[in-house]
Each structure stands twice: as C-alpha cells, then as structure tokens.
Amino acid sequence: MSRVRQLTRNFDPKKYEPEILKFWDEARVYERLRDARKGSKRFHFLDGPPYPSSDMPHPGTVWNKIIKDSVIRFKRGEGYDVLDKPGWDTHGLPIEVMTEKALGFTSKKDIENYGIDKFVLKCKELATKNLKSMTGHFKEFAVSMDWDRPYRTFENEYIESAWWGVKKIWESGRLYEGERPVHWCPRCETVLSDYEVSESYKDLMDPSIYVKFRVRGSENEYLLIWTTTPWTLPGNVAVMVHPNEKYVKVRVGRDLLILAKARLEAVMKDAGIEKYEIVEEFEGRTLEGLKYEHPLEDLVSVQQRLKDEHRVVLSEEYVTMEEGSGCVHSAPGHGKEDFEVGMRYGLPVVSPVDERGRFTEDAGKYAGLQVREANNIIIEDLDERGALFHRGTVIHKYPVCWRCDTPLIIRTTKQWFVKLTDLREKLLEESGRAKWVPKWGGERRFRDWLLGLEDWIISRQRYWGIPLPIWRCESCGHVEVIGSAKEIEEKAGAKLEDLHRPWVDGVTWKCPECGGEMRRVPDIMDVWYDSGVSFFASVGYPHRNREVFQEIFPVDFITEGHDQIRGWFFSLLRMGTLLFNQVPYRSVLMHGFMLDEKGREMHKRLGNYVPPPEILKNVARDTFRFFVLTKVPWQDLRFSWKGLKEMERRLSVIWNVYVFATTYLRDRELGQLPPKEELDPVNRWVLSRLHSMMKRVRESMNEYHLHVASNEILSFLIDDLSHLYLRVARKKLRSKDRSVADQWGKVLFHVLRETLPYLSIFAPLMSEKIYLESFRGENDPDSVNFLLLKDPDDGMIDPELEDMMRHIRSIISASGFARSNAGIRKRQPLRELVVVTENDMVRRAVEVFKDVLVTEANVREVRLGEAPTDGKWAHADFSEGSVFLNLEMGDEEILGGLARELTRRIQLMRKELGLTIGLERIEVYVQGDEDVKRALERYYDEIAWDSDANVIKFISNEREVPGSSFGKEWEVDGRRVFIWVKKVE
RNA sequence: GGGCCCGUGGCUCAGACUGGUCAGAGCGCCCGGCUGAUAACCGGGAGGUCGGGGGUUCAAGUCCCCCCGGGCCCA
C-alpha cells in the first residue's frame, strides 16, 4: 500500500534547493546511480570541453550544461548507463597570456628567463583553479555530470592518447613540414590558425598608397599598384593582373600608367587628378610576363638578388575590380593568395621578417625595424625615388591577435601540417552521416564550411600545450613520431612524470640512422587538436579502456553552440575521419547563444553580463532550467528577468498542484489502479492525457526537441491537472461514496507519482523535494533520480476522449461567457444548461462528461436540445454550436445559492480558527431570515459535509449559542446572517 | 561580396521540416468570478493584413523568388 504525506504549503525553493544539493552530494546519489545502471545498455554523451579562462561561467555556458544535463537525466530515466564525463579544454594561448599578464611579462624572452617549467606549472595551476570554480557553478544548477572524474586535456593520459593520434597520422603519410605564409602574432611569437584569426578583426588606420613600378627598359611607363601594407613591399616579386579585364595605359603628366580600366576613374579621383588621357587599351592577359623594376631595390638587399624575377602574372581569383588599381602587388612571403599564385609561376618566396615582427638583414636598410613602424620610412623612400603616386590613409578591418590584440602579420615560416585537402569529399560524406538537429545545421552551414577546407597547421611556437611528439636527428634529419610515454621510456630510458614542456624537451636518443642526436621539434600543438581527439582521449584509448571505446564509438550525442560548427563539431569530424575513417558522433544538437534582454551578445566587457550567482539570488535553479529548456534550443535565447519570474510562477502552480493533492491524499490507502472499465470518464481522460504526455516527452527528447518535451509537461501539469482535473477531483475526493473517493484518490496519486520522474528531467530539485517529502514509499529508492520513466501505454491513450474534453472546455468557457454577460456570478446555481450542436462528437461529449458540466457550469441539469424559444435564457456560441443557460430562479436556485454562500462563510470562519479539514470537526449556529432557515434545512447534508460540521443549528435566540463559540456577522445577498462556529473537542 | 538564422497582437515566444480545425500561449491591460491550492486560482474581452512584394496551389506564417530590417558565420 502506498501512502503520501502532506507537502509543505509554501513553495520555498531558496530553502529546499540547497538542502537537496547537499543531500545529493552527501548521499553520493549520482555515484550510486551510476553503479546501479552498470551493465545496462550504454548511452555515450561526450561533453564539449569548455575553456577555463575564468572562474565564472558565462550564463550561456550554464545553459549549455543544462541542455546536456536534461538529456543525460532523460536517458538515465530510460534505463541507460549514461557516460556523463565532463571535459575541460585546458591548454592554449588564453591561459598563457593570462599567466604572462599576472607575472608582468611582455615577451617570450621573459618566459624563458623565468623558466619554462615554472611558467607551465603556473598555467596548470590557473587552469585547475578556474575549472574547479566553474565546476561549483555548474553543480549549483543541478548539472549531474561526473564532476569528480572529468577529462582534462593536460593530463598525461590524455596527452598520450593525443600522441598516439599524431603517430597514426604520421604513419598514414599525412603529416608534413612545409613552408607557408601564415598569420603570425609578433607579440606571442607564434603562428595562429585561420580559425583563431577569424575570431577577431579590428578597425585599424593604415596607409593607403599607390606606387609606380617602372616597366623594365622603359623611360616613363609604370605599373600602378595599390597597397595598405607598405612593409610588404620589400617582399614584392610580382604584380598580379586579371587576364579577362580591360587595362589601359594612361598619360598623367609625363608618366604613362598601366591600370585596370574599371578602376581608372576611382583611382584618379582618389589621387585628386583631373587631367589624364587614355592612350591605349588592351586585355589584362597581354601583360603577362612584363618585367618591371622594384622601386626599393637599392635599399633592400634581398631585392638585388631578384632583379630578373619581377614580372606580371595572371590571376582570375585574386584580382578584384572592387578596390585598388587592378594591378595587385604580390609578395608570396606575405600573403596566402600571393603564395598560391607564386607557386604556380615558380616565383621565389621572400619573407625578410623575424618572429618578433622585425625586418631581418635581408631587408637591408630596414633591418631591425618593427614592420608596422617601418611603413612611414618606406613611404618616404618611395617618394624620394619618385615612385609614390599617391598617399592616403584607410580605416579597414585588420586581423589582430585574439588574445593580446596585437595586429597580426603574415610571414613565411616552417610549420607542421596535416594534409586534408584530398579528404574533402570523405569529410562531406561523413558529416552527412550524423543526425543534425536542426537539420540545416549540418546540411547547409557545415557543408559550406567544409568546401573551403585547407591543410591544417598543427604546430604552435608556445609552451602550454600538448608537445608535438616529433623527434628529429640533428645531423641527418631522420624523423620519429612517438605515440606513448612507454615509447619514450624504451627509446631514451627516460621516465617522465609530466609529459609537458620543458621536461619532454630534455628527452633525446641516438639516431638509428646516423648515430646523431634525436631531439624533439620544440613546437606544441594547436588546441583544436586537443579537443578534437576527446572522443577517444577522454577514456584514454588506446592505452586504456579499449573495450569501453569499442562499445561507445561513435558517441551517441554531442551538443554545443552554433559557433562550434567550425570549431569542435568540425575538429571531431576531422580527427574521426583521419584516425578512424568515420564521423565520431551520431547526433549533434546545435544550440544558440544567450543574448541580453535587448538582444545583444552578453559580454563581461559590455557590462550586460549576468553572472550565474546573480540568477540564483533571484530565482530558483529549476526556474532557470525550465526557462532555458522551454526555448527552441537552436535559436538565440534572450535572457529575461520578466520571463524568469513568469516561469517561477508557473513552477509555483505545479508545486501547489502537489500541495493540493497531498492535502487530500495524505494518510489514505492508495493501492493499485482500478481496471480501466470501472473508471469515471474523467479519470480515463486524465490517464489518457498522462500517457499522451509521456509518449510525447519520450519522442521529442529522443529527437532532442527539448522545448517540445518541457512545454508538454508544463502544460499537462498546469492546463490539464491544475486548471481542470483538480477542480473536478476536489469534490470527488471528498465524496461520501467510499468507492468514488477511493477511485479518484488512486488515479490522482498514480498520475502525480508517474509524472515525477518526467518532471525531474527538467526540474530535478523540485521533483526530488516532492518525492522525498511526500511520495517516497517504504520500499522506494532514496532519490527520485533512481526512478525509471514509465513507458507510455498506447492502450491508455484515447484520442477521442481527449478531443471530447477539448469540446467540454469550450462549452464551459462559453457558459462562463453567457453568465458574465447576464451578470450572474458563478456561485449561483442555475436550473439548466442546454447545448445546441450538430456535431456528433460534441453530443457524445456532453453525455459522457455531464458531471463535469454540472459542476463547472454550476447547473442542476445539462441536456442536448434545440435553441429554446421562450423563457429567460442567457446564450453564447462556441466553435461547434451554442449554449443556453436558463435564468429563471425558483426556490431551488435561490436556496441553493444561499446554501453555497453559507458554506463559504463557515469555511472562512473555520480557516480563521486554524482548523484543518478532515481532522477537526465543528458545531455551527446560525441566525437569519426565513430563506436562510429553509436553505439550511434543504441543504443540511451538503453544508454539514462540506464544512465537517457535526451539527448545524438554526437558532432564534443568541443565548442558545455555547459560550466559547466564535461568532461573526455577515451580509449575504442583502440579508443579515449571524454565524457561530465552535470546535468540537 | 558570399552563406545561414531570425522578423507572428504592447512584451516574450510556440506554430513553418510533413501547405488545409494554426492564427495560438503566457505576461501586461480591461471586465468579471472563485475562496480550505489563497501574497494563490478561474472565466471573459480588447489587440495581429503572421516584415514588404511577387509567384506556385483549389488552398500559404507554412513552399519558391525578390526586397527591407536584425543577428551570426565566412571572405
């Protein structure tokens, strides 16, 4: 037999939420839950590791974790053994830069003087401190991941897994060292990936100059080029023109200038020149091979070696008629497009700039200068040599370092690459294998991105990261790639406690080819490599947990914000395809960004950022969870205090549903549900709704339509239970007929009990509180988290019955409308409700749910019929017909109304005395007019039953009232009535 | 310049993949009611040419095209 206990009346999440969190922690609920599910079918969730750049997560990150948590809870409820390991992306430049700032460093030299070992330990310390603090914030929102056993990318085991991957790539022949122009931060002194660069462009003011390159062998003929980076001119080796555009030779003063016809007017306007004359017109392609003189060749030493190289080359892709002169200055050492075209023409690559962004000796006069500082000197030198056509400035978007804001440069360096370009097709195919929610996330956005794929630079010239496991012989260049710590031990006899730099840098061994010294390439790896291998490195594969990995690959579910299409979703796909020839995840849910109340991005520095503790100060944890989970996940979400308050009110209604129900159900024997055939239609209806709700929640959760599932349960609890079912049930639960009260009690209990585990997916704290305080039986587990989601039973779902109830609702609503138009209050019973309709289902509904109509419309009779033609009627229409209320008031109606008024007054007085219904009984004494007396006589039983009165006595003299009674004078419909209530001891 | 998403009553948003009971909900506002869920709850009302225009169709917030506005990504 099950029993329930009364639930605390006050909805006070501020009080119970911390208690529940503490209970979960102390009772090790999740740990035991994981143990309990061991051996069940597995569901592998993979956490996209957040970057611990701060001790406080962004509210959007909390949203992200809540989404994950709801899926994890749901799958646990379905009985799965869920892998719920959280992850942390701990390496990389942001942590390094923060550490540098904390130590007051400005360059790599400072780090090396300080000691790489100490520096790396500081980085680790910072990452650890932040991830611990962030963990605390996530736990506050009831995120039930395995916080004690996260994967962290700085752990030796993780690094070993990553190394194994590098070795495998090497063995597949895709790892190569190459020379390329790359984005470079002169402060951090490292290469940056395209992805890192695209993060931040800033408006910068730069020179905008037109320069004349004299055609070799001519007196006064020039190619006119345009550039905003004068410092790249020392690296110039060619001029690109468009083969299919018209070019012109123009006379300006004594000079003949060559430029694109389409740009002529704009250029002359820019330069403020009004007088010019076209002397010749030709196709761009005819310029191919035309040689010219570099204007600074006397100053730049490397240019003297290149005298015969400078010439015109063709490019359709990179010459635009949108800006410039149509003659594009090309420095293959300082531009990706230039490099590509240069390769095609076999042009030399010149990049006379060092890692700190200073010109090298090759740059002659400019050696030692910071490149951006050299701009003006170069411009003056051009002017002195008569090569400057026009000088201006421009404000344009220019890439800066995403961590330190230093303007980036492009310089050519040796880097390690992974060849990907030939994998484009395979990646596209694999990306199509994953289920994307929403569909367009994968289909359009992702595909577009994959089409622009290039080889991947995986080396970085920094300290805090996974060391690139490449060793090379200093004498013969022989290369070995290492896949584990054990290999290091075997080769070098070194046992490393920490696989990071600088400790790993000291490991050397003898070259098997020539006996020279094998030394590690000093680079570390791109952090996107770190998170990209998480699908196997998080479990330590292949050095550990091989069987587990076989079972869980590919992972079932990942979810991150839409910024991660090009980030983690892609890096996982890339690593999955490189190492296992397949996409490593089955389903991806792409979620939106959290915006502020005005729809702008939320940022600390914009000051519109709401720290998670601030949210907790104002609303319940479950409120925030429900708030975010009821929104369409893949759209951006607007933070809203108003919205949160509103959600909190809805949760308090749910709480009240349970309070109300337990008030009636407590201390009752609540056994098995009676067979369906014996049930009242309203009970059959509510059970049908219960199973429909469960079905819908299960289906939509499995589709990752979290908003559908969460709204479904809200509307079940609020619209169906609170607004309708409980109103009807209230009277039935107190029925004198034991079998009626019993049936309704059992059904209500059943419905609320089965709903609890469903509710706990979204509002785990509230569910737990209700479960522990009221619903947990003697043999039940000690936490709601252990409960399984009951499977929906199609046999219990009756769509027709649900439809009928919808009609009943509209009839009730129409009858309310008719009443309010006629000015008759709801408490006043009326004689008759006539429903006029042609719709068969409505007619059946009226028959089936007559009881509901009688109580909800407060009438004595309900019948189907024709529109009445005589008498006093109030009338209103609903979608399938009309309702008519008989307004004629006989004795029956007047006395009935009076009886309800009297009941209500007695109830108010009971309450004032603090008496509990069903527990304490009373005696009532009433003094009033003849109607009051008659109402009391006729409705004696009802009034006495409703108010738990042993006796109700109509008196003519006040002296008949016992001394200790509580008396009050009332006015009821213009009548004076005295009521006394006395508690029966 | 290219791609993607969004634009539904005063506010916040469902509905759009699978055209046809989809013009909805909550809040706010106005009117009324209920009263052992009560610093709650219930009913009703006003309010939207579903950003604009064109097209497909017997039928279009829903599909197609163009434009406008907002956002994101890329170049």
Question: What is the rounded distance in angstroms from the CA atom of residue A881 to the CA atom of residue A879?
Answer: 6
Give the mean model confidence (pLDDT) for residues A356-370.
91
Instruction: Estimate in Å the CA A517 to C1' B4 gap, whole number.
Output: 52
Instruction: Estimate in Å the CA A441 to C1' B5 gap, whole number.
Output: 10
Q: Which nucleotide is nearest to A946 (CA to C1')?
A: B36
Instruction: Estimate in Å the CA A442 to C1' B55 gap, whole number.
Output: 29
Q: Which tokens go with A88?
A: 């942390």
Q: Which nucleotide is nearest to A563 (CA to C1')?
A: B73
**How many other CB atoms sit within 10 Å of the CB of residue A221?**
18
Question: Which residue's CA is nearest to the C1' of nucleotide B31?
Answer: A820
Question: What is the rounded distance in angstroms from the CA atom of residue A781 to the CA atom of residue A759?
Answer: 17
Question: Which residue's CA is nearest to the C1' of nucleotide B43?
Answer: A816
More confident call, A686 vs A869: A686
Q: Between the CA of residue A76 and those of A43, A751, A896, A901, what are the distances in Å?
A: 9, 21, 54, 51
Instruction: Estimate in Å the CA A826 to C1' B45 gap, whole number.
Output: 18
Taking alpha carbons only, the member of A463, A460, A459 closest to residue A118 is: A463
What is the pLDDT at residue A173?
94
Residue A763 pLDDT exceeds 80:
yes
A399-426 pLDDT per residue, tens? 888 777 788 888 888 889 999 888 888 8
∠ at Cα A815 (A812, A816), nearest 5°? 85
Instruction: Estimate in Å the CA A813 to C1' B26 gap, whole number.
Output: 18
Q: Which nucleotide is nearest to A826 (CA to C1')?
A: B33
Instruction: Estimate in Å the CA A37 to C1' B5 gap, whole number.
Output: 40
What is the pLDDT at residue A975?
79
A54-98 pLDDT per residue, tens? 899 988 899 999 999 999 999 999 999 999 999 999 998 889 989
Taking alpha carbons only, the member of A495, A476, A479, A477 closest to residue A487 is: A495
What is the pLDDT at residue A449?
67
Question: Which residue's CA is nearest to the C1' of nucleotide B13?
Answer: A631
Q: Which residue has the tokens 């292949």?
A: A542
What is the pLDDT at residue A942?
81
Cβ–Cβ under 8 Å, residues A939 and A949? no
**If pLDDT is split at 50, 70 and 90, which confidence band does A23 have?**
very high
Cβ–Cβ under 8 Å, residues A187 and A386? no
What is the pLDDT at residue A185?
87
Residue A445 pLDDT exceeds 70:
no
More confident call, A491 vs A600: A491
More confident call, A197 vs A269: A269
Question: Which residue's CA is nearest to the C1' of nucleotide B70?
Answer: A599
A113-139 pLDDT per residue, tens? 999 999 999 999 999 999 999 999 999
Residue A909 pLDDT exceeds 60:
yes
Mean model confidence pLDDT for chain A: 88
Taking alpha carbons only, the member of A269, A267, A262, A257 closest to residue A224 is: A257
Instruction: Estimate in Å the CA A870 to C1' B62 gap, whole number.
Output: 47
Question: What is the rounded distance in angstroms from the CA atom of residue A332 to the CA atom of residue A352?
Answer: 12
Give the mean model confidence (pLDDT) for residues A574-603.
86
Instruction: Estimate in Å the CA A164 to C1' B71 gap, whole number.
Output: 41
What percent of chain A lies above the pLDDT cut of 70? 97
Q: Which nucleotide is nearest to A654 (CA to C1')?
A: B37
Question: Which residue's CA is nearest to the C1' of nucleotide B6?
Answer: A635
A514-556 pLDDT per residue, tens? 999 999 999 999 999 999 999 999 999 999 999 989 888 999 9
Question: What is the rounded distance in angstroms from the CA atom of residue A660 to the CA atom of residue A653?
Answer: 10
More confident call, A32 vs A813: A32
What is the pLDDT at residue A874?
82
**If pLDDT is split at 50, 70 and 90, which confidence band does A167 have?**
very high
Q: Which nucleotide is nearest to A901 (CA to C1')?
A: B35
Instruction: Estimate in Å the CA A653 to C1' B36 gap, whole number.
Output: 17
Instruction: Estimate in Å the CA A724 to C1' B9 gap, whole number.
Output: 27
Taking alpha carbons only, the member of A771, A897, A882, A799 closest to residue A833 is: A882
Instruction: Estimate in Å the CA A769 to C1' B44 gap, whole number.
Output: 37
Give the mean model confidence (pLDDT) for residues A348-373.
90
What is the pLDDT at residue A635?
81
What is the pLDDT at residue A408?
87
Is the dihedral angle over the CA atoms A812, A816, A822, A828 positive or is it negative?
positive
Q: Which nucleotide is nearest to A337 (CA to C1')?
A: B75
Burial class (CB in 10 A: 0-12, 13-18, 19+), A77: buried
What is the pLDDT at residue A1?
54
Is the dihedral angle over the CA atoms A666, A672, A676, A679 positive or is it negative?
negative
**How many other CB atoms sit within 10 Å of the CB of residue A921?**
17
Residue A452 pLDDT exceeds 70:
no
Instruction: Estimate in Å the CA A178 to C1' B61 gap, whole number.
Output: 54
Give the mean model confidence (pLDDT) for residues A265-276.
88
What is the pLDDT at residue A754?
92
Write phi, then psi, for A308 (nearest 5 degrees). Answer: -90, 0
More confident call, A726 vs A757: A757
**How many other CB atoms sit within 10 Å of the CB of residue A681?**
18
Nucleotides of B under 7 A from a protein CB: 3-6, 11-15, 17, 21, 26-27, 31-38, 40-45, 70-75
Long-range contacts of A129-133 (CB under 8 A, 24+ apart): A129/A55, A130/A52, A130/A53, A130/A54, A130/A55, A131/A52, A131/A88, A131/A90, A133/A55, A133/A56
Residue A307 pLDDT exceeds 60:
yes
Instruction: Estimate in Å the CA A638 to C1' B25 gap, whole number.
Output: 18
Question: What is the rounded distance in angstroms from the CA atom of residue A87 to the CA atom of residue A703?
Answer: 24
What is the pLDDT at residue A813?
79
What is the pLDDT at residue A141?
93
Q: Which residues contact A946 (CB under 8 A, 6 or more apart)?
A: A734, A903, A907
* DSSP secondary structure letters along A440-507: HIIIIIIHHHHHT---EE-EES-SSSPBP-EEEETTT--EEE--SHHHHHHHH----S--STTGGGG-
Q: Which nucleotide is nearest to A920 (CA to C1')?
A: B36
Provide the whole-model pTM.
Answer: 0.86
Q: Where are the alpha helices (DSSP H) in A154-300?
A: 156-171, 194-199, 261-271
Q: Which residue has the tokens 């039953």?
A: A945
If you compute the radius of gyration of chain A from its CA atoms, what whole number of angstroms results?
40
Strands, E assignment, A107-200: 151-152, 175-185, 190-192
Q: Which nucleotide is nearest to A658 (CA to C1')?
A: B37
Q: Which nucleotide is nearest to A715 (CA to C1')?
A: B25
A277-294 pLDDT per residue, tens? 999 999 988 999 999 999
Cβ–Cβ under 8 Å, residues A82 and A37? yes
Q: Which tokens go with A19?
A: 């208690």
Instruction: Estimate in Å the CA A145 to C1' B69 gap, whole number.
Output: 42
**If pLDDT is split at 50, 70 and 90, which confidence band does A971 have?**
confident
Question: What is the rounded distance in angstroms from the CA atom of residue A621 to the CA atom of residue A624?
Answer: 5
Q: Which nucleotide is nearest to A910 (CA to C1')?
A: B36
Instruction: Estimate in Å the CA A640 to C1' B51 gap, whole number.
Output: 24
ipTM for the assembly: 0.82
Residue A223 pLDDT exceeds 80:
yes
Cβ–Cβ under 8 Å, residues A89 and A153? yes
**If pLDDT is split at 50, 70 and 90, which confidence band does A726 have?**
confident
More confident call, A788 vs A838: A788
Q: Which nucleotide is nearest to A903 (CA to C1')?
A: B35
A601-628 pLDDT per residue, tens? 777 767 777 889 988 888 899 989 988 8
